Structure 1
Amino acid sequence: MEVERVQAIASLSKTLHTIPSEYIRSEKEQPAITTFHGVVLEVPVIDLSEPNQDNIVKQISEASRDWGIFQVVNHGITNELISKLQQVGKEFFELPQEEREKIAKTDDSIEGYGTKLQKEVEGKKGWVDHLFHKIWPPSAINYQFWPKNPPSYRETNEEYAETLRGVSKKMFDYLSLGLGLEAGELEKAAGGDDIVYLMKINYYPPCPRPDLALGVVAHTDMSILTILVPNEVQGLQVFRDDFWYDVKYIPNALIIHIGDQAEILSNGKYKSVFHRTTVNKEQTRMSWPVFLEPPPEHVVGPIPKLVNKGNEENSGKGEEETSKYKTKSYKDYVYCKLNKLPQ
């Protein structure tokens, strides 16, 4: 059965000034009603070239506790490489549909080109197509799901994966230090060298009714961290103080999301960010998140030291810090989340 792609629906909808009913969100979700208009949220921006490492740790820790999202500049990935990553991704989505379908998802894999991602609430769909594939570690990569076209796609993504690992190592170190741990402890607890880097390219074609549709519905990421490159078209929104706010676009910055696993590992000290994506009437929005995930069998729970530390600090004060989250394998966590089951 041929899958209906949003890109194809967008082409048909252009002249109609309407969209199919399954893309129209309920009033409590519609961007026109639920967005706080006229304000662009300036989430914390952190300069990684700051010479004082303690300052960086403090800023990242505060942003992760209060916001669950921040942007980093001077991160060490060149503007040229980010442009190349964006270019090859854009070229893939501009190929004829039959060419894109050559790497379509199969039923037993999240990787590949696709549209539907998880159980759809009330049958409503997101105005987005996507491509998933793992970019690290080498043992996890399946090149069957990497585009052959454009020809430079593989080389660009391999170069990006290599440089991104340097950034993620810094993030893990700073986040560990912000919890009062040793630099490598958070990364080790999350899976160490086996942490999987899952690339997703989101493609949001122009939408005749951006006031009614969403690209990606409100959610938190299942990952430990998400490191995201957007294009210049506004679309990322964060929920704060009971409203949805646009997040300010900063050229060549990386957007860092705290994911569910970092919240669990930190025993709730870091907050997984609640976010969604809007779409644009005239322009195509794209984004390149990389989800840093524990390997499927890896068991994740609050880092014991953080729970114990709370007990030692607060003993006798009636404030003993207990474990706030269940410990379970990452694959079980994913199964529950995708199927809307209680954790």
Structure 2
Amino acid sequence: MDTKVVSRAFAGSLPVDSVQALASKNLKNIPSRYIRPEIEFEVVPIDESQQIPVIDMSKLDHGDEQKKLHQACKDWGFFQLINHGIADELIAKMKIDTQEFFKLPMEEKMAYAQLPNEIEGYGQTLVRSADQKLDWNDMLCLFPLPVPLRNMRFWPTNPPSFRETFDKYSTELHKVTIYLIKRIAKNLGTDPKMLSSFFEDEAQVIRMNYYPPCAEESKVLGASPHSDAAGLTLLLQVNEVEGLQIKKDEKWVPVKPIPGTLIVNMGDIIEIMSNGEYRSIEHRVVVNQEKERLSMVAFQNPKVGTEIGPLADLVKTKKAQYKTMSLEEYLILRLSGKGPGMLNQMKL
């Protein structure tokens, strides 16, 4: 993705203090910018009885697993992907390198700090104003694909293996994405080659998230409720601390990751392209009172020049439910708002 496209979409993010540094002070009273009155008096119940579907990628050439994928995308918008083909050794190394980066002294991490009005680098996401409520997390955000547009200024050189590991991991995620997109296209009844071509030169954004422990964990959020602007999102749980919750049937369902899996969800772009057949689901992250949580989230986006709108094959028999616009127009519209419900701006 052209960095100018992303910069225009994200422009205006203000610098704020590191949450990791704040948490290290063992404050008894959390600054008010992080306190969320709406979750102190939670009206949305939590349902721990349900779990998101599990899809075996090695069996997706078989009809039953293909049907399971269709139902997961349609009913849940989320699934856990097993047997995805990424080597255990690579995943283990990526987890270690991510943890080691966040253990670095603050001044060393700040060498990769976001520049004014940019999202790439070390910092936080989309801080628009001085009184905006903040999430309880820090992140390192990188744009690994397409390769020619990489900005190595933000890629850590410590730990020494980070760049090589991250490059390999990014490439493997791309392979998984193309494989899934082709199966999604087949289930939607559209051309797999056509849909996957939008993602061949994809714009990939990977965020490494660090959620420090918080003494008042019931009053803060690691990530505010939102749906993802991307096509597909592939999440790797870096350590064993849970926190991701998805909203289903007006209840928050905690996601309990299976070791070695990727958690996959449909982004807004896939909901729009599928003309509403598949769902981009609202989700959030809660934090732990005693333990830090780390995750890696990869947003898989179509290439520049892609028109974001319902696929032509899908509006022959059903009226288009969403507008069609350029990727740049879509990103600026989608990322200019706050909180959940942004997808409604695309509806006709």
- TM-score norm. by structure 2 comes to 0.88
Q: Is residue 89 from structure 1 mapped to residue 66 from structure 2 by the alignment?
A: no
Asked if 1:198 corresponds to 2:211, the answer is: no
- List aligned pairs for 1:1-343, cutoff 5 A: 3-12=16-25, 14=26, 16-27=27-38, 29-30=39-40, 33-34=42-43, 36-37=45-46, 39=48, 41-50=50-59, 52-119=61-128, 123-188=132-197, 191-230=198-237, 231-308=239-316, 310=317, 321-340=318-337, 342-343=345-346
The residue identity in structure 2 corresponding to 1:17 is K
Alpha-carbon contact 2:47-2:251 (below 8 Å) kept: no
Task: Using the TM superposition, give the Cα deviation of residue 248 of structure 1 relative to its aligned residue in structure 2, in angstroms.
Answer: 1.4
Classify the secondary structure of the residue corresponding to 2:48.
strand
CA RMSD of aligned residues (A): 2.0
Q: Secondary structure at the match of 2:207?
A: strand
In the TM superposition, residue 145 of structure 1 has moved relative to its aligned partner by 1.2
How far apart are residue 35 of structure 1 and its match?
5.9
In the alignment, is the contact (CA less than 8 A) between 1:35 and 1:245 conserved in 2? no
Alignment partners' CA distance in 2, 1:240 and 1:51? 25
Structure 1 unaligned blocks of 5 or more = 311-320
Question: SS where residue 218 of structure 1 aligns?
Answer: strand
Aligned residues: 326
Q: Which amino acid aligns with 1:200?
A: R
1:2 is displaced (CA, Å) by: 7.2
Contact 1:40 1:248 in 2 (8 A): no
Q: Residue by residue, what CA displacement relative to the aligned partner does 1:306-333 show, whole Å, maximum 9, x if unpaired?
A: 111x2xxxxxxxxxx2111111122222
Gap change, CA 1:244 and 1:192, over 3 Å in 2: closer
CA apart distance, 1:52: 4.8
Partner Cα separation in structure 1 for residue 79 and residue 252 of structure 2: 16
Aligned-pair CA distance for 1:203:
0.6
SS of match in other structure, 1:211: helix
SS of structure 1 residue aligned to 2:69: helix
Displacement of 1:38 in angstroms is 6.7
Any idea what the Cα deviations from partners look like across 1:256-281, whole Å, max 9, x if unmatched? 01000001111111100110000011
**One-letter code aligned to 1:330:** L
Cα–Cα, structure 1 residues 59 and 152, in superposed 2: closer, same or farther, change >3 Å?
same
Is the contact between residue 66 and residue 271 of structure 1 (CA under 8 Å) also seen in structure 2? yes
- Specify every segment of 5 or more residues in structure 2 that has no aligned partner in the other structure, as ranges: 1-13
Q: Per the alignment, in what secondary structure is the counterpart of residue 57 of structure 1?
A: helix
Q: Percent of pairs identical after alignment?
A: 39
